[in-house]
Amino acid sequence: MDSSASLSRPLFVLAGVERTFLLGQTRIHALRGIDLEIMPGEFLAVWGPSGSGKSTLMNMLGLIDAPDAGRIVFDGEEVAALSDDAKSDRRSRKIGFVFQNFNLVPVLSALENVMLPLQLQGKAKDEAAARALEWLDKVGIAALRAFRPDHLSGGQRQRVAIARALAAHPRLIIADEPTANLDSQTGHEVIDLMEKLNEETGVTCVFTTHDPRLLDRVPRQLRLIDGQIAVGNYGNDGVKK
């Protein structure tokens, strides 16, 4: 597949995706028929109230969980046809994850945290260190490279996590509530940073939030309500216009 073909085809196609959980006797329909296409290079926010299915959807995009009905095609491949090994290969090569709790390794410095996935990919230590430093610079905290996470603020930790996710050159960044543990000013800065990196590198970004105030400058917004994509325009107060 040449690169022009892989740019013109969707990175994701979801068709009729459903996910049901059994909680005791109760059946919870977390996703009720999601149809969605995401093109390479898009910057997309998934937002909606608690329990609307945001994390369930992100777990589908991260190849962590599978639908009970419907299909998902990721980068031209039918996900249901992939073995577990193939899925974890696609995850480590093509997807970078950013988490609400940052998920940094506490005993490693900022630089070593960003180096880790590069070394796991087989890069030599010097090369991993050079590339990690470049990414810390891109997220604006190269000066803090020797600090361990417990000496960094929440916003700085999330910058390390974003650098770590991007250093491995994924096609896609998945961030489930990346701003949930940050104050609103820092939350805005983190979203602005992801948007800047999306523009500079072309990496596709999908993030979730329950805070509509973060969506001002986000080009594509998907509102989830009760496991379905809401149709129509919603204002920043979450109310349908």
Ligand X SMILES: Nc1ncnc2c1ncn2[C@@H]1O[C@H](COP(=O)(O)OP(=O)(O)OP(=O)(O)O)[C@@H](O)[C@H]1O
- Partner interacting with residue 23 (select from Mg ion, ligand X, none; CB below 5-8 Å by kind): ligand X
Stretch that binds ligand X, among 36-44, 49-57, 91-99, 102-110 (CB under 6 A): 49-57
| Neighbour-count burial of 232, counting CB atoms closer than 10 A to its CB (0-12 exposed, 13-18 middle, 19+ buried) | exposed
**Which residue among 51, 140, 154, 238 contacts ligand X (CB under 6 A)?**
51
| Residue of this chain nearest to Mg ion (CB atom) | 55
Q: CB of residue 214 vs ligand X: minimum separation in angstroms?
A: 13
CB of 208 to ligand X, least distance (A): 7
Contacted entry of Mg ion, ligand X, none for residue 28, CB cut-off 5 to 8 Å set by kind? ligand X
Q: Where are the alpha helices (DSSP H) in the chain?
A: 3-8, 54-61, 84-94, 110-120, 125-138, 154-167, 184-201
Q: List the x/- string, 44-83, binding to Mg ion by CB under 5 A.
A: ----------xx----------------------------
Q: Residue 219, class by beta-carbon neighbours within 10 Å (0-12 exposed, 13-18 middle, 19+ buried)?
A: exposed
Work out how close the CB of 5 gets to ligand X at its nearest, in angstroms, rounded to a whole number: 33
Q: How far apart are CA 57 and CA 175, in angstroms?
A: 12
